[in-house]
Amino acid sequence: MDFQKPRYIPMSRRRRIYEGKAKVLYEGPEPGTLIQHFKDDATAFNAKKHEVIEGKGVLNNRISEYVFQHLNDIGVPTHFIRRLNMREQLIREVEIIPLEVVVRNVAAGSLATRLGIDEGTQLPRSIIEFYYKNDKLNDPMVSEEHITAFGWASPQEIDDIMALAIRVNDFLSGLFLGVGIRLVDFKMETGRLWENDVMRIVVADEISPDSCRLWDIKTNDKMDKDRFRRDMGGLVEAYTEVAKRLGIVAEGERPQGMGPVLVKG
Ligand code: TMP
């Protein structure tokens, strides 16, 4: 047997590094890599609400692949290397910065509640918020002062994270606008990636309808996880529609690598 070549490791024998609410991370085939596996689990309100929604993981794997590959292509660094199969992708191992970075273009969700602004109100400009990733504390919102005082990220890293967030927001807004979808807000995560002695911040985790608010431009129909959070039903149908419009999943459902579908009028 040739032990030098990377081999396929059966799932049962893979080392599990971390299990989150919607994903599992396994040891990758080479040092510095991991396998990110998308589960069908949907949770909300810090996992107080939980359901298994068949097909969600496959759709998020494909949609997140599409987004991360395009971010890589336009020079926004991410942890993504390539998709491996229907539920898994190969990623670079990074040190996750314990912040959820939320970018908002339109008032919705917790911002609408907290500040008493009607959902759907266009914001005067895009707003970036930080939440401390800590389930025990329910991911509280924090300021740059908290982030630097407690050492979660340095002032330079915060600047880098905000610059990345703005680039991702501009890219995603245009991408979705082109297929008739309004990017209301989204959450992203970042990590530190070391290459030799140089460290840079990259986009990590996933970007999918689980972590974005996506509204149909014409009807304002929700095409994201709010369908689950708000018991609206039709989540898989909505995510499939997002994938179809992006040209990832063709009419007959077999995922294809087509280009985006132009939406007229
Ligand atoms: P929020 O309005 O509930 O604060 O959510 C803002 C955005 O962040 C929205 O697109 C959903 C996403 N999000 C997550 O991805 N994970 C979370 O745990 C939360 C609370 C929000």
Nearest residue by C-alpha to atom 14 in ligand 1: 211
**Side chain identity at 56, as an amino acid letter?**
K
Ligand 1 centre distance from Cα of residue 14 (Å): 31
- Reported as a single tens digit per residue, the pLDDT across 138-163 is 999 999 999 999 999 999 999 999 99
| Cα(224)–Cα(205) distance, integer angstroms | 17
Ligand 1 centre distance from Cα of residue 265 (Å): 30
Which among 63, 64, 102, 222 is the best mutation to test ligand 1's pocket, defined by most ligand atoms within 8 Å of the CB? 102
Ligand 1 centre distance from Cα of residue 186 (Å): 7
Give residue 249's pLDDT band: very low, low, confident or very high (50, 70, 90): confident
- Reported as a single tens digit per residue, the pLDDT across 22-34 is 999 999 999 999 9
Percentage of residues of the chain with pLDDT beyond 90:
88
User: Which residues, judged by CB distance below 6 Å to any ligand atom, belong to the binding site of ligand 1?
Assistant: 102, 108-111, 139, 185-187, 211-213
The answer on pLDDT for 262 being more than 70 is: no
Q: Which domains does the chain have, with CATH numbers?
A: 11-95+234-245 (3.30.200.20), 96-229 (3.30.470.20)
* Helices assigned H by DSSP within 45-116: 56-73, 109-115
**Ligand 1 atom with minimal separation from the 110 CA:** 2
The answer on pLDDT for 244 being more than 70 is: yes
Which among 211, 213, 229 is the best mutation to test ligand 1's pocket, defined by most ligand atoms within 8 Å of the CB? 211
CA separation, residue 155 to residues 3, 102, 132 (Å): 45, 18, 16
**Side chain identity at 249, as an amino acid letter?**
V
Ligand 1 centre distance from Cα of residue 92 (Å): 24
Strands of 16-19's sheet in order across? 16-19, 23-27, 33-38, 88-92, 80-83
| Cα(212)–Cα(252) distance, integer angstroms | 25
SS3 at position 52: strand
Ligand 1 centre distance from Cα of residue 21 (Å): 14
pTM: 0.92
Of residues 250 and 8, the one with the higher pLDDT is 250
Ligand 1 centre distance from Cα of residue 171 (Å): 19
**Ligand 1 atom with minimal separation from the 112 CA:** 2
Paired tokens of 6 = 């990377």
pLDDT at position 253 = 61
